[in-house]
Amino acid sequence: MRITFKLIISLIVVVVFVAVVSAWLNVRHEKVKLYEEVLSRSALLAESFKESVRNNLAAKNYASVQRLADKFQSQKQLEGVAVYDSGGTRIVSSSALTPVLAVHKEAIDALLKEGRDNPVTYAMAEKKMFLYPLFVALDGGDTARIIIFTNVSYIDYNLYKIWKRTLIRLLVQMVLISLVTLLTIRWNLVDPVIQMAEWMKNLRMGNAHGHVPPIKGDIFAPIAREATTLATNLQAARRAAQNEARLRQEGESLWTPERLKELIKMKMDGRPLFVVSNREPYMNIKEGKDIKTIIPAGGLVTALDPILKAAGGTWVAHGSGEADFEVTDDNNRIKVPPEEPAYTLRRVPLSKEEEDGYYYGFSNEGIWPLCHIAHIRPIFRKEDWKYYYEVNKKFAKTVLEEIADVKEPCVLIQDYHFTLLPGMIKAVRPDARVAVFWHIPWPNPETFGICPWQRELVMGLLGADLIGFQTQFYCNNFLDTVDRTLESRIDWEHFSVQKEGHTTIIKPFPISVDFQRPDRDAKALGEKPELKTVLKEMGLKAEFLGVGVDRIDYTKGMLERVKAVDRFLEKYPEYVKRFTFVQLGAPSRTHIPQYHRFLAELHAEVDRVNWKFKAKDWKAIAFLEKHYDHKEITKFYKIADVCMVTSLHDGMNLVAKEFVAASDDHRGVLILSRFAGASRELKDALIVNPYDIEQMADAIYYSLTMPKAEVEERMTRMRQDLHENNIYKWAANLTEELMKLRMDDFKLTSV
């Protein structure tokens, strides 16, 4: 047995050694040969180009030189040619090469400063370039420099194929050797291998100790000893990495999922995070006989899903999908996301009457228009209030079940659907750390006083330890409302409210997005979207594109946006048949009469504008009314020249931030309403008053005529701010503040 095993190993080692050495020699020879071919071809082309343009360069006839440079870029593997003067300034370059040279200007300048004639290779635009420089002596003693750019990526690919063929042959040989001996030794080999693999899997997942379990036979004894040592070292390395991450919390500037996860573990002592919202992050619907998982539209899901993926825990939400409860367990729980479970989703079932009264009625016909000053009259009904109270009570019961076995649990409640929930939770679990984040605006006291149950709503919110708003302005409005509504002690210096022995801190936490998500969505597209291709799919042609992405809601300024496009085309008729505005509209709250009326008015206004500027193969406005996933939305962000976010009143509006995050090439202009919370952060957007149609029309014109350098500068600054202040930083700030407040509170109590 030992001899057989040694023979197998010896044969495999010899085969591997011979194959690898042979392949290495072959690769080295092939590499030298291919680069010599590129060098000789580049030298020949450089000399040819030199003789063709010498006189034109001396006469400064750069147009002729440009034509010759463009002809050169069409040859096989030749990316193009560039000509520089004696001072290192680019005179002419092949058209296709010009953008690449602009991006890699510093590297090219360094090469020119060195003044070398030696060819070099350099990575440019995801390609490996071979740069062949050549001096040109001009009349009068002046000189110029020619650089031939050849794409040599194919060389690496050819060498890769040699290695691949070698490895395939090697694999076949190894399989044959193994099969010859496997028939006689499989009973002594298979069981130990399976046992070892299972142990390694558990070790990788953190469920195994550092010692290999007893394995039949002595064949694996040496491996078992080494595996034990490796496992011990791995566990030590894991502990060291976690400690290092903790130590770096204070000094690290960029927030990532990993950093957030470590911070929450450190701050919460390994306790899970509990999030409560009306909308669920994942919904199950039926497609024929199959059940499909979709991600509902909305900024709340966009903001919070990455946090739970990073931190782990439980998300409690209304199960509104038609197949939601067909895939949950007996306790209405399911692990999400489906492809890579990271946290638990606990779904709460609601009857049609409960949903109509609590959600469509009190929340969205009452509180929503009350807080958004969009000139829609709020409606408050006693029966809606009853359902609102009962649903808050049902959610409180569910949350209390989830946190029953958790010491000092941390609960993060979302938005206006659950104003009563903080007080209900704290009444049963005073040790719970409870935070509320209010995503929408908070109006002034006079406006909020319209609500017949304003006192109950404010009292419910003050059950929380921390209330977060999008801006400081909304914090001020809330404290003013408390001052007018309840007898309490308000500390304006520290922005806190003390009521019945409980202190609530009020702070702004501007919400953000996962900065890296558009990059992942863009990679999922397969190839970079192009304006002509996307418009062709819609049966349209245009040179410039504007985009809007919204839930269909009267607060989003969609009617005003349509009127602005209408006025823009009136004032600047040269853009008729050249500019198209695409509005992506996700249907929302279709059971509410105001939304029916608004949608009908929006359709009528879009039809009016399109009829007014009717033309073949072109539309002024393309209104796409359906739910789009992030990948599809990212496609439009990347091809848009301008994105319009014209909310009449908005807490933040994450569409503005998503557009900036998607602009990895630093193009595109953001037109942003001054009534959206995002305008307080994205100051390099074109800030407009959505009620001023003339101003918005002019903003569209300016965005299309803005110098490219200014566009890039504005977008660069916004992206830098968004990169630093991403969703993970928002979550970290909120969590840290909540944990700090509770700890401070305990200290005061103990004193």
- Nearest Cα to 358, choosing from 385, 382, 318? 385
Neighbour-count burial for 76-105, b at 16+ CB within 10 Å, e otherwise:
eebbbbbbbeeeeebbbbbeebeebbeebe
What is the C-alpha to C-alpha distance for residues 61 and 91, in angstroms, rounded to an integer? 11
**Residue 108: exposure state from Cβ atoms within 10 A (0-12, 13-18, ≥19):** buried
Contact yes or no for 685/672 (Cβ under 8 A): yes
Q: Which of 553, 566, 650, 698 is catalytic?
A: 650
Residue 5 sits at φ, ψ, to 5 deg, of -60, -45
DSSP-derived secondary structure letter, 27: H
- Taking alpha carbons only, the member of 315, 226, 327, 231 closest to residue 278 is 315
Query: 């009314």: which residue's tokens?
Result: 625
Residue 650 is among the residues annotated as catalytic for this protein: yes
- Asked about 142 being catalytic, the answer comes back as no
Going by DSSP bridges, is the β-strand pair 496-499/489-491 parallel, antiparallel, or unpaired? antiparallel
CA distance 645 to 380: 30
In angstroms, rounded to a whole number, what is the distance separating the alpha carbons of residues 354 and 356? Answer: 6
User: How far, rounded to the nearest angstrom, does the alpha carbon of residue 520 sit from its chain's CA centroid?
Assistant: 7
- The DSSP string of 177-210 is HHHHHHHHHHHHHHHHHHHHHHHHHHHHTT-S-S
Q: Tokens 């020879």 sit at which residue?
A: 29
Cβ atoms within 10 Å, residue 233? 11
CB–CB of 432/463 below 8 Å? no
Those residues with Cβ within 8 angstroms of residue 188's Cβ, 6 or more apart along the chain or in another chain: 1, 216, 217, 219
For residues 548, 549, 551, 554, the Cα torsion angle rounded to the nearest 10 degrees is -20
The whole-angstrom separation of Cα 362 and Cα 456 is 14
Asked if residue 553 lies in contact with residue 374, where contact means CB atoms within 8 angstroms, the answer is: no
Q: What is the three-state SS of 375-410?
A: CCCCCCCHHHHHHHHHHHHHHHHHHHHHCCCCCCCE
Beta strand pairing call for 90-93 and 78-85: antiparallel
Are 718 and 684 in contact, with CB atoms under 8 Å apart? yes
Q: Residue 16 forms beta bridges with which residues?
A: none
Residue of 151, 152, 149, 146 whose CA lies nearest to 47: 146
Give the tokens for residue 170.
């090697």
Which is the catalytic residue, given 439, 465, 514, 698? 439
Question: At 559, which amino acid appears?
Answer: L
Kind plus residue range of the DSSP H or E element containing 112 = helix 105-114
Closest CA to 560 of 685, 465, 671, 696: 696
Residues classed as catalytic: 439, 650
